[in-house]
Amino acid sequence: MTYLSKTMIFVAGLALAACTNPDRFEDQAGLGGGGFGTGAGSVSDPTSPAYFQQAIGDRVLFAVDQSTLSPAAQATLDGQAQWLMTNRDFTAVIEGHADERGTREYNVALGARRANAVQEYLVSRGVAGSRLRVVSFGKERPIEICSDEACYSKNRRAVTVLAAGLGS
C-alpha cells in the first residue's frame, strides 16, 4: 500500500550549490607582505637591510599579553630609528605577532597593539609616520613551533620589515 502523504522535492541545482571542482586552485603557500625577508646585502655594510636585521635587530619581544616596550626593546628600537633616519630610501612594515596561547581574533588585536607600540616609539624618535605601516598576524605566523615558553617568548614579537620605497 502506498501512502506517501507528504512529498518533499528538492531537485538538481539546489542539491549542490557550490563549485564542483575541488581543485580549481593551484596549491601555493606564501605569506603576504614583501620586504627583504632574509636581509639583503652584507651585514658589514651599515646601510644594508642585512645590517638592520642582524646588527641592530629587526625585532623586539613582549611579555605575555603585554604590548609595553622593555628597556631592551627600547634600545633596539633606538637603533632602528637611527638607521631609518639615516637610510631614508626605506619604508617599513611593522608586523605584530602573538603566541599560540590565545584565541585567534583576540590575538590579531593583541599583535596590532604590539606593532603599534613599536610604530609609536619609532615616530617618537623622529621617524616619519608616513614611512611606517603596521600589520598584525596574530598567532598565524610563529617563528618557533614548540609549545613551550622558550618558543612562545620568541613568537610574542614585533618585527620591523624593511621595504624599498621612498618615504612620501
Partner 1 sequence: MMRSLLTLLAALTLWAFPATAQQGGPLRLELTEGVIEPMPFAVPDFVADTPAAQEFARNIARVIAADLTGTGLFREIPAEAHISRITSFESPVQFADWRAINAQALVTGAVNVDGSGRVVVRFRIHDVFAGQELGRGQQLVGDRDGWRRIAHKVGDQVYARITGEGGYFDSRVVFVSESGPKDQRAKRLAIMDYDGANVQFLTDAASIVLAPRFSPTGDRVLYTSYETGFPRIYVLDVANVGRRVLPTLDGTMAFAPRFSPDGRTVLYSLTQGGNTDLYTMDITSGASTRLTTAPSIETAPSYSPDGRQIVFESDRSGTPQLYIMPVSGGEARRISFGQGRYGTPVWSPRGDLIAFTKQSKGRFHIGVMRTDGSEERLLTASFLDEGPTWAPNGRVVMFTRETQGAQGEARLYSVDITGRNLRQVVTPSGASDPSWGPLQN
Which parts of this chain interact with partner 1 (CB under 8 A)? Answer: 1-34, 65, 67, 93, 100-106, 108-110, 112-113, 115-117, 119-120, 133-138, 140-147
| The three cell numbers locating residue 44 | 658589514
To partner 1, the closest distance from the beta carbon of 3 in angstroms equals 6
Which residue lies nearer to partner 1 by CB, 21 or 38? 21
> How many residues does this entry show for the chain?
168
Angstrom distance (rounded) from CA 150 to CA 60: 15
Which residue lies nearer to partner 1 by CB, 15 or 44? 15
8 A C-beta contact, residue 88 and residue 167: yes
To partner 1, the closest distance from the beta carbon of 55 in angstroms equals 24
CA 83 → CA 4, 120, 151, distances in Å? 80, 16, 28
Residue found under cell 590565545: 102
Residue 147 amino acid letter: S
To partner 1, the closest distance from the beta carbon of 61 in angstroms equals 17
Which residue lies nearer to partner 1 by CB, 81 or 112? 112
| The three cell numbers locating residue 131 | 614611512
Which residue lies nearer to partner 1 by CB, 42 or 130? 130
To partner 1, the closest distance from the beta carbon of 118 in angstroms equals 10
Four-CA torsion 125, 123, 77, 164, nearest 10 degrees: -120
Which residue lies nearer to partner 1 by CB, 6 or 71? 6
SS3 of 11, please? coil
To partner 1, the closest distance from the beta carbon of 110 in angstroms equals 7
8 A C-beta contact, residue 81 and residue 119: no
